[in-house]
Structure formats: C-alpha cells, structure tokens
Amino acid sequence: MVVVDIDYREYFLPDTIQELQRAFDKWDTSGDGAISVKELYQMFRSLGKKVSRQQLKHVLAEIDTDGNGEIDFEELCMLEIKMSGARPRADLIDYQEFLTERQVAKLETAFLRHDRKNTGLIGLDAFCSIVESLAPWTERTPVEQRATREDYEDVLAEVDPQCRGSIDFHQLCSGFAVLTKARKMVNYREYLQQDEVKEYRRIFTATTQKRGQSGLSKSDLDRILRRMGATLSKAQLREFFQYFDTDGSGLMDFEEFCVMLLRVRNLHKNRIVSPETCSCAELWREEEFSIEELQQSGFTLEDFKKAGIPVATLHKDGGYSALELRRVGFSAKELKQGGVALMELRRGGYSLMDLRLAGFSAEALEGANRQLFGSFSAGDLSVLPRMAPKPVVSKGFALSSAGFALLKNAPGSFLDAAVQRPLQRQMTPMIREHTDWKSPYTGRANMTGDSLDALASTRLLRSRPSDLNGFLLDSRGKFLGG
C-alpha cells in the first residue's frame, strides 16, 4: 500500500520487512490481521516505550489511514517510519519517481564532467561535490534541512556498500534524490476531482496574488486549512511545512499545496491517469490539465504535439527549449510564430536554411553566426543548450568530429570572408554534434524480484548511522520485543 507519497518498501530492506511482519503477527493476538489500540498499547509497554493512551490516540490518528481505529501491517510500517524518522533508501527507490527530467539531465552533465576516463564511474568525493553544487539549497535553507554528515554516511552505505570507492550514474541520481530530500512525485489529479483542483487553484491564486508572492507561507497555509475545517496543531503544521518546503524558501507552491492536502485528507487514488488510460488531447481540452499536470501523468512532448497544444504554450508554460521542440518535429517557422528568439533557434540546431524559410533576414542570420563564431573560436561551448562530453577544443580554434576547424591565427577579423564562408557551411554540423549527442544513460532497469533478493543477501560492509534510531527495531533490524 502506498500512502500518497510514502511507500514503506522504499524504506526497508526485504529482511527488515519480514522482521516487522513477525512483530505484527506476534501482537495481532486475535489473528484478525489488525492490531487494536489495546494491543498496540501493550506492545509499546513491553518495549519500554512510555506513551500515554492520549499520545497513543494521537499517533493512531496520524497513521490509521483508513480510519477504522486499528493498525494493519502497512500502517505498522508507517509507524516505524514516523517514530524512527526513517527516510527512503537510495538502494531501493526508482529515482525517476523523485527527480524531474531536467534534474537528471543536470546530474548527467556533472557526472560526465567528473568521469574523465569514461569508465562509467565517479569517486565518492565527486559524488559529494555534485550533490552540494546541484542541491536546491539556498542561503535561506535552514541547517536542519540540509544533508548532514550522518545523511551522507547513510547514503554512501546504500550506494557503495562494498566500499569500492566509486558509484555509477544511477547510484548518483538515487543518492542525490535522498540527500536533497526530494519528494516522490505524486499526480494529485489521480486523487482529486476536476472541481476540487479548480477550487484549490482559485484559493492558491487569490492568496498569493493578494500578498504578491509566488507561494503560500506557513501562516497562509494555517488560515486556509482552518477555513477548510482541517485544523492542525502547531507541531503538525511545522512538520508538514518543513517536509514540503525542501529548499527552505518559506513558501509552498501549488503542486506541494495539493499533495499536502492529500496527506491531510488521507485520500486514496480514484483513477489512474497515464498515456495508457487517458487521451492527452481530452485531458488538455476537456479537463483543463496544465502542461505540468500532463507531464506528471507521463505524457511526452510528442504527445503534446499530437494533441495540438500551441508551441508558444509549450515553450512558455512547459519550459521546453528550441532544441527539444526541434527534436519532435516543430519547424523554425512555427517556433518563430510562437515567439522563440533567433539565437535560441540557432543554438538549438536549426540550420541557416530552416531559419531563412522561417522569415529571418540575412542580416539577422549573419549576426547570429557572428556571435556563435566568437564563442566557438574562444573554445566556449556553454552557449549551447547541450554539450557532448569532452569536446576537442584548443586555444584560438575549435575542432569537432564533424571536421569543423578554424585556423589558429587567421588574419583579419572574424568577419573576413575567407573565414566566414566555411563557418556558415559547417556551423550547423558542429552545433548538432553537441545538441544531438545521445546519452549512454537513457533508461534504467528498475529493481525487481531477483535483484531485491540479491540485495537482501549482500553483506553490507558500511554501517548506516540511522540504524541506531529504530523505534520497533534495533540497529541490526531485529524486533526489540524478541
């Protein structure tokens, strides 16, 4: 069972889950598949946990997701997660459920930069450096919301249990997701009705516009929840807000607001929204899904193009670059009509012919090429939206596998006709060498059945400091009640 964005199977190894099942069976004295409040109280007392009946009711209210007044096995796992402060394990999660495509792309670029020998591995120092440089932390992020030394030791024990001293790309992504406390991406459209989403958006927009801010503050959230009849204690409000405000900005965006309401209301999925079950065009036109909501539902840019979503909307609201739009077949003319600037189109790999047909003047194209030429001749490829790893660049001239070369000490200015003509002929292949480069890390195998069994039998050489924080379990993952 998954409680909105928490799946206990991402927190515990298979043998730990078996141990929790043994504990559950021991205290389910009636054998009905549930632990009553009385049985739970007796279990706490036997473990030496000093909890009053009132405190117990409070705990029960938070983990009894179906509201039947009893604890089933999945809810017992949730109890252990909550009381021990457990977090997802980097060796159990699918990072693609926690990180956006753009985050993964940035991690890929950083990984390739550190993998100088093309081994497919990077050292642990490089791993820590990448996390620190790409984490969503700001100067305003509280210290307690940043990754601690213990957090790093935990994750290293999960991604490098045998102390090899190196990790691969997928381990980097999983470790990054855990250390930055990334939330599992939840499609709130699978839980909420269309009119509920509209109402929540109205409330969110009215509040943020009134205060001139991009998200909800903790006091805003408190007032909204009270009007909805969902009053939280100060401790609960602080806990919820800290969980969702991962960058420490002090503001909660609309998606975070909706997912938090799912948690507060203990809602369960009422449908599956995916390319296999729904039409992208119908969701866009009839249910008024936003681009972000369609992305969360698994639809791709190709789907958006087929659904007839305007290219201007895809570029502005979806954040798609000219390069991404070119790859799915949008013409330079369509992008120009959608408001995309010439330099972005050229950097995205559109040829001079494409841009001429789109209606750009010869003077404008010459200026765009001149600007790119100046960057390339200085060995600066950062102007491109994507770079192939380790391009061959030398001082004063640039080389590519497409055969583009500029003489090192070319006489005259960069606009000299003898240099400009070969530049215009070969600029596009050089750009596309980088923009159309295919990553070796596309796709990944999910951990299933056999691989989980192998993981369970692996002898872990590194220790996890957080294993000492168990509530029902000891540091070896064994039930404290014997």
Q: How far apart are CA 147 and CA 388, in angstroms?
A: 31
Q: What is the pLDDT of residues 67-84, one digit of tens each?
A: 677 888 888 888 888 888
Provide the CATH number for the domain formed by 192-265 in this structure: 1.10.238.10
Percent of the chain past pLDDT 90, that is, above it, reads: 41
Q: Indicate the pairing of strand 166-167 with strand 6-7.
A: unpaired
One CATH from 3.90.25.10, 1.10.238.10, 3.30.470.20, 3.30.750.24 for 2-90+449-469: 1.10.238.10
DSSP 215-258: SB-HHHHHHHHHHTT----HHHHHHHHHHH-TT--S-B-HHHHH
Q: Looking at domain 95-179, what is its CATH homologous superfamily?
A: EF-hand (1.10.238.10)
CA distance 41 to 57: 10
Q: Which residues, 6 or more positions from 41, have their beta carbon under 8 angstroms from its beta carbon? A: 51, 53, 56
Indicate the domain borders of the chain: 2-90+449-469, 95-179, 192-265, 346-435
Picking from 11-15, 310-314, 339-343, which range would have the lowest pLDDT averaged per residue? 11-15
Give the predicted TM-score (pTM) of the model.
Answer: 0.77
Q: What is the pLDDT of the chain when averaged over all its residues?
A: 82
* Tens-digit pLDDT profile for residues 3-31: 567 889 999 999 889 988 988 888 888 88
- Indicate if 192-265 has the same CATH topology as 2-90+449-469: yes
Cα→Cα distances 169→59, 264, 334, 461, Å: 39, 36, 36, 21
Of the candidates 388, 349, 295, the one whose C-alpha atom is nearest the C-alpha of residue 108 is: 388
314 phi/psi in degrees, rounded to 5? -65, -40
What value does the mean pLDDT take over residues 257-261?
90
CB neighbour list of residue 250: distance below 8 Å, 6 or more residues apart: 140, 217, 218
Q: Which of 165-179, 260-274, 287-301, 408-422 has the lowest mean pLDDT?
A: 408-422
The beta strands (E) that lie in 371-436 are given as 393-394, 397-398
Identify which has the larger pLDDT, 455 or 56: 56
Phi-psi group of 145: left, alpha or beta (phi > 0 → left; psi -120 to 50 → alpha; rest → beta): alpha
| Burial of 449 per CB tally in 10 Å (0-12, 13-18, 19+) | exposed
For residues 343-369, average pLDDT: 94
475 vs 291, residue with greater confidence: 291
How far is residue 363's CA from residue 374's CA, in Å, rounded to a whole number?
A: 17
